[in-house]
């Protein structure tokens, strides 16, 4: 019951803040239009095909990533205004609270990914196989769950918004730009390939690209396995750190 209540609370927060929904779509839409159409001719002349179809899965992953990982900010916000204390003194385990918050944040982030996908369809993106669309939703939720848990774990260690923003700037942008969301992974230097292979978002982007565009660098089964294992590990770590929060 506690898990359901926390999940529902996160959804209510999301749908109450309409400006947040609209504002969070600005950057993905800018990337899709500016890069998709601006670099499309260059990408095509290089023999790589339609850049918008290549780019869209990466931008969908970006939308999920940003929404998911910044959901950890709400823990710091709730701590500063006393809402977290009221939640933690309730007669339920902190594990249930953390799981409920994480599932709620992941659901919100996955919904954000679906909205970005719809925007992509409006500006001309078309999936290679519509039958793979349900599997794409699974990858969206895995990405959302992984990075919501990571944001929660980091926020559990911090007490002020400034510290969280500093760490996020050193994580979020490298996660995104080194994931292959904007460029093909074939033919890169070995050192760069090694860096990309340890970026968890790389497997999320690759999984979305495999399901939506029909191309994959790592392989669909590898993408799913890596995301599932990493999500389980980060959930355990996040649960432990959340249980140690001092109120």
Asked whether the predicted pLDDT for residue 1 surpasses 70, the reply is: no
> Cα–Cα distances in Å, from 138 out to 47, 131, 178?
31, 13, 22
Looking at residue 192, what is its pLDDT?
86
Q: Which two tokens mark 152? A: 């929660």
Q: Indicate the DSSP class of residue 184.
A: -
> Cα–Cα distances in Å, from 98 out to 105, 108, 137, 205?
10, 15, 23, 26
Q: Which of 155, 144, 193, 8 is nearest to 73 (CA)?
A: 155
| pLDDT tens track for 3-13 | 666 666 666 66
Q: Is the dihedral of CA 105, 106, 111, 117 positive or negative?
A: positive
Confidence at 31, pLDDT banded by 50, 70, 90: confident
Q: Which of 193, 189, 182 is nearest to 48 (CA)?
A: 182
The answer to whether residues 207 and 223 touch, using CB atoms and an 8 Å cutoff, is yes
| pLDDT tens track for 75-103 | 777 777 666 666 666 666 777 778 888 88
The answer to whether residues 214 and 129 touch, using CB atoms and an 8 Å cutoff, is yes
Q: Which of 51, 67, 62 is nearest to 28 (CA)?
A: 62
The answer to whether residues 7 and 104 touch, using CB atoms and an 8 Å cutoff, is yes
């Amino acid at each position: 019951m506690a898990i359901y209540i926390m999940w529902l609370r996160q959804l209510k927060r999301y749908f109450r803040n309409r400006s947040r929904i609209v504002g969070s779509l600005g950057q993905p839409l800018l990337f899709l239009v500016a890069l998709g159409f601006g670099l499309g001719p260059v990408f095509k002349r290089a023999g790589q095909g339609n850049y918008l179809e290549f780019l869209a899965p990466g931008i969908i992953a970006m939308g999920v990533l940003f929404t998911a990982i910044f959901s950890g900010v709400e823990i710091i916000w709730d701590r500063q205004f006393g809402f977290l204390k009221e939640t933690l003194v309730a007669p339920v385990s902190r594990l249930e609270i953390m799981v409920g918050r994480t599932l709620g944040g992941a659901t919100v982030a996955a919904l954000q990914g679906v909205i970005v996908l719809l925007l992509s369809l409006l500006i001309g993106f078309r999936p290679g196989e519509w039958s793979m669309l349900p599997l794409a939703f699974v990858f969206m939720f895995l990405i959302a769950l992984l990075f919501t848990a990571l944001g929660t774990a980091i926020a559990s260690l911090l007490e002020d918004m400034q510290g969280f923003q500093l760490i996020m700037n050193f994580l979020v942008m490298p996660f995104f730009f080194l994931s292959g969301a904007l460029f093909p992974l074939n033919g890169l230097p070995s050192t760069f390939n090694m860096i990309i292979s340890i970026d968890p978002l790389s497997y999320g982007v690759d999984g979305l690209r495999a399901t939506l565009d029909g191309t994959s660098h790592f392989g669909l089964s590898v993408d799913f396995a890596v995301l599932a294992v990493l999500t389980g590990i980060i959930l355990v770590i996040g649960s432990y750190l959340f249980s140690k929060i001092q109120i």
